[in-house]
């Protein structure tokens, strides 16, 4: 197993994500392949490539058993990358992932990651996702927390942190902005439509979290009664990501998430 990791060393260092490195370290710590001091020494490296290099070299130096456990974790965490590297092991590091040929809950034979991938690629009813498009996923995350005239959105930092983690775990590079005016939100979306990854990506996600009102997200300088209120019309999203402004996203799924609390309402939802 350590020979397999050695053969794909350069590819692994180049392609593995920071989130995956953290998840691999957590798994290997749980398996007692690493101790806390070894885990911390990897995380002390400043760049993603340096952390990936330290992680892989330490695992290889620990032999075949450690290498097999790492491959098993990688199969579970990022099956696309694992398949792309040509890595697999006879038994996953986590019992939650059944070995090839095991029976699923329905009594049918479970397939390997590669078999599942190929089956979905040949199914015309399933939206096509290639390995290149998966690695080109990109998301826009805008979070307004501090306002000039409105209440601070306490706890929004935690929402931002969890949302960014979720998006990264789904394979998206996250373009993040914080504390924007309405015009700055518009500018961020406009810049996003020029992102170089949009040509290859299979989908995009746009998340905006702020105070809001019907049909608009509030900018950080919004003030009730202003003749020219600082706000961003939600319909602008569909214009900016539409076929005229962003032809690179034609026929690609666009997930739009708006979390815009309307503080004057105290019920479970605001009409």
List the single range of 116-130, 136-150, 209-223 with lowest mean pLDDT. 116-130
Pairing mode of beta strands 216-218, 204-213: antiparallel
Residues of the chain with CATH 1.10.533.10: 2-99+113-119
26-30 long-range CB contacts below 8 Å, 24 or more apart? Answer: 27/69, 27/70, 27/73, 27/77, 27/93, 27/94, 28/59, 28/66, 28/69, 28/70, 28/73
Whether 267 is catalytic: no
What gap in Å lies between CA 164 and CA 158, rounded to an integer? 10
**What pLDDT, on the 0 to 100 scale, is given for residue 130?**
79
Pairing mode of beta strands 138-143, 231-233: unpaired
Asked if the model's pLDDT at residue 181 lies above 90, the reply is yes
CATH number attached to the domain at 131-261 = 3.40.50.1460
What gap in Å lies between CA 181 and CA 262, rounded to an integer? 17
CA atoms within 13 Å, Cβ hemisphere of 32: 0
Mean pLDDT of all residues belonging to the chain:
85
What gap in Å lies between CA 179 and CA 101, rounded to an integer? 51
Tens digits of per-residue pLDDT, 19-48? 889 999 999 999 999 999 899 889 888 788
Please, which residues have CB within 8 angstroms of residue 254's CB and are 6 or more apart in sequence? 203, 204, 205, 206, 241
Whether 180 is catalytic: no
List the single range of 4-18, 137-151, 237-251 with lowest mean pLDDT. 4-18
Residue with tokens 């400043």: 46
What gap in Å lies between CA 121 and CA 116, rounded to an integer? 9
Structure tokens at 125: 């009813």
Residues of the chain with CATH 3.40.50.1460: 131-261
Please tell me the pTM assigned to this model: 0.61
What percentage of residues in the chain have a pLDDT greater than 90?
A: 55
CATH number of 2-99+113-119: 3.40.50.920, 1.10.533.10, 1.20.1090.10, 3.30.420.40? Answer: 1.10.533.10
Asked if the model's pLDDT at residue 265 lies above 70, the reply is no
**What pLDDT, on the 0 to 100 scale, is given for residue 18?**
86
Please, which residues have CB within 8 angstroms of residue 96's CB and are 6 or more apart in sequence? 76
Please, which residues have CB within 8 angstroms of residue 210's CB and are 6 or more apart in sequence? 142, 143, 144, 153, 217, 218, 219, 259, 260
Q: What is the dihedral of CA 58, 60, 61, 64, to 10 degrees?
A: 130
Q: Which of 73, 177, 211, 246 is catalytic?
A: 211
SS3 percent helix, strand, coil of the chain, rounded to 5, is 45, 15, 40
Q: What is the dihedral of CA 192, 194, 198, 199, to 10 degrees?
A: 170
Question: Reduced to 3 states, what is the DSSP secondary structure of residue 175?
Answer: strand
Tens digits of per-residue pLDDT, 77-125? 888 888 888 887 544 444 444 444 444 454 555 566 667 767 777 777 8
**What pLDDT, on the 0 to 100 scale, is given for residue 113?**
62
Question: Reduced to 3 states, what is the DSSP secondary structure of residue 177?
Answer: strand
**What pLDDT, on the 0 to 100 scale, is given for residue 125?**
82
CA-to-CA separations, 150 to 22, 61, 178, 222, 231, in angstroms, rounded: 37, 56, 16, 7, 13
């Amino acid at each position: 197993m350590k020979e397999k990791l050695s053969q794909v060393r350069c590819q692994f260092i180049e392609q593995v994500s920071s989130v995956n490195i953290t998840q691999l370290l957590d798994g290997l710590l749980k398996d007692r392949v690493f101790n806390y001091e070894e885990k911390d020494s990897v995380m002390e490296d400043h760049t993603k490539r340096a952390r990936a290099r330290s992680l892989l070299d330490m695992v290889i130096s620990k032999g075949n058993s450690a290498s097999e456990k790492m491959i098993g974790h990688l199969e579970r965490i990022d099956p696309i990358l694992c398949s792309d590297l040509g890595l697999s092991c006879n038994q996953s590091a986590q019992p939650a992932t059944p070995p090839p040929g095991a029976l699923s809950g329905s009594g049918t034979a479970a397939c390997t990651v590669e078999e599942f991938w190929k089956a979905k690629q040949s199914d015309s009813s399933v939206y096509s996702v290639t390995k290149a498009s998966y690695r080109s996923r990109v998301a826009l995350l805008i979070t307004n927390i501090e306002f000039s005239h409105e209440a601070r959105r306490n706890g929004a930092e935690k929402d931002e942190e969890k949302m960014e983690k979720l998006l990264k775990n789904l394979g998206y590079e996250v373009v993040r902005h914080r504390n924007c005016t309405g015009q700055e939100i518009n500018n961020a979306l406009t810049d996003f439509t020029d992102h170089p990854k949009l040509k290859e990506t299979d989908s995009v996600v746009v998340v905006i979290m702020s105070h809001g009102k019907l049909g608009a997200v509030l900018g950080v300088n919004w003030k009730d009664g202003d003749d020219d209120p600082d706000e961003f019309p939600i319909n602008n999203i569909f214009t900016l990501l539409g076929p005229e402004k962003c032809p690179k996203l034609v026929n690609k799924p666009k997930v739009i998430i708006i979390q815009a609390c309307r503080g004057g309402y105290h019920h479970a939802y605001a009409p």
